[in-house]
Amino acid sequence: MAARFTVSIDIWDSEFDNYTDIVSTDAVPCKYWRLDKYFVMVIYNIVFFLSLLGNSLVVLVILYNRLSRTVTDIYLLNLAIADLLFALSLPLWAASKVKGWIYGKSLCKFVSLLKEVNFYSGILLLACISVDRYLAIVHATRALTQKRHWVKFICMGIWGLSLLLSMPILFFREAVKSEYYGFVCYENFGNDTEKWRMILRILPQSFGFALPLLVMIFCYSFTLRTLSEAHMGQKHRVMRVIFAVVLVFLLCWLPYNVVLITDTLLRTKMIQDSCPRREAIEQAMDFTEILGFLHSCLNPIIYVFIGQKFRHSFLKILAAHGVVSKDFLARHHISFSSFASSSVSAAV
């Protein structure tokens, strides 16, 4: 017989001292092993600092290269902005790991919304990059990929769609008190828990994660085949940064979404529930959430270590402001006169 358990969660009202039990039984509660809260807090603060610094530099470099800014650069600019916005919420998540969620319902909703928008905008922007590269390389459709004014409307649509997909979080996140973990920022689905949990987790993930992922798989499969058949060595090098960005995104966010779907199936009784299984999922949620949060600081690191043009553009900006000398650029075979010809996406 499966072990009986309960999860007792109480709504935390605006006065911070009154609680109403919404899920409670006479069963023996499950107790979970959790990551050390101070370790998690330190990791989140490190990610915050790296993300703030790295993505600010990415925004700076792309904005400076406005004359030669490509369609992919515009997508990468929006990707950096999304990571910057999410990074601003990391100190709150870090502090909540130690103190519990002491910031009330409004901030709970807002920072949760930033997290969701960051995720959905990230994968939608990467899907658009894959379509852009597919058109440019497989079909050689330069006219479409070079009309940058259309890209602005596409990016606005991506932000709007990301916000729409994130709306369930805005409506159902609450500041709640759990039996063992203190105050947490968590979903409160009310009476129709199973139905809402299924709808509000599965549907956004299907349209906001699975569908863009299929688009990327389709586009990059044909793009890679075309590059291989045509022996386009230069374009192979140009695509390295894009492939690295996509791969890192999937490595960081795919595990979290798999665990989230498993958690949904368990809570809706579609798979058998038990304390050991619940403990395994909770532990996996802790680890994969850290991995997902870590993603916000990784793209700038990719540009620095793989993107030669990004490094050169940054050094030229420093030279333009007298931080490094032009002789330093010359010693590294960087032409200051070609400053306007650099871009992040042509990163080899």
Q: What six digits make up the tokens of 200?
A: 């509000």
Q: Which of 44-53, 99-108, 291-300, 315-324 has the lowest mean pLDDT?
A: 315-324
**Nearest alpha-carbon partner for 202 in 278, 116, 262, 144:** 262
pLDDT digits (tens, 9 = 90+) for 272-309: 777 888 888 888 888 999 999 999 999 988 887 777 67
pLDDT digits (tens, 9 = 90+) for 76-90: 999 999 999 999 999
Count CB atoms within 10 A of the CB of residue 233: 9
Beta-strand relationship, 9-12 and 182-187: unpaired
Domains of the chain, first to last = 34-305 (1.20.1070.10)
pLDDT digits (tens, 9 = 90+) for 189-228: 666 566 666 676 777 777 888 889 999 999 998 888 888 7
Q: Which of 15-24, 236-245, 275-284 has the lowest mean pLDDT?
A: 15-24
> Is the pLDDT higher at 134 or at 306?
134
Asked if residue 179 lies in contact with residue 8, where contact means CB atoms within 8 angstroms, the answer is yes
pLDDT digits (tens, 9 = 90+) for 157-192: 999 999 998 888 887 788 777 665 677 887 776 665
- Separation of alpha carbons 46 and 52, rounded Å: 10
Average of per-residue pLDDT values in the chain: 76
Asked if residue 186 lies in contact with residue 173, where contact means CB atoms within 8 angstroms, the answer is yes
Phi, psi of 36 (to 5 degrees): -60, 125
pLDDT score of 6: 37
**pLDDT tier, 38 (very low <50, low <70, confident <90, very high otherwise):** confident
> Is the pLDDT higher at 51 or at 257?
51
Asked if residue 336 lies in contact with residue 316, where contact means CB atoms within 8 angstroms, the answer is yes
* Predicted model pTM: 0.81
**pLDDT tier, 126 (very low <50, low <70, confident <90, very high otherwise):** very high
**pLDDT tier, 3 (very low <50, low <70, confident <90, very high otherwise):** very low
First to last CA, the chain: 59
pLDDT score of 185: 85
Amino acid identity for residue 123 in this structure: I
Mapped to the 3 state alphabet, what secondary structure does 195-256 carry? HHHHHHHHHHHHHHHHHHHHHHHHHHHHHHHHHHHHCCHHHHHHHHHHHHHHHHHHHHHHHH
Q: Is 3 left (phi over 0), alpha (psi -120 to 50) or beta?
A: beta
**pLDDT tier, 18 (very low <50, low <70, confident <90, very high otherwise):** very low
Is 310 strand, coil or helix? Answer: helix
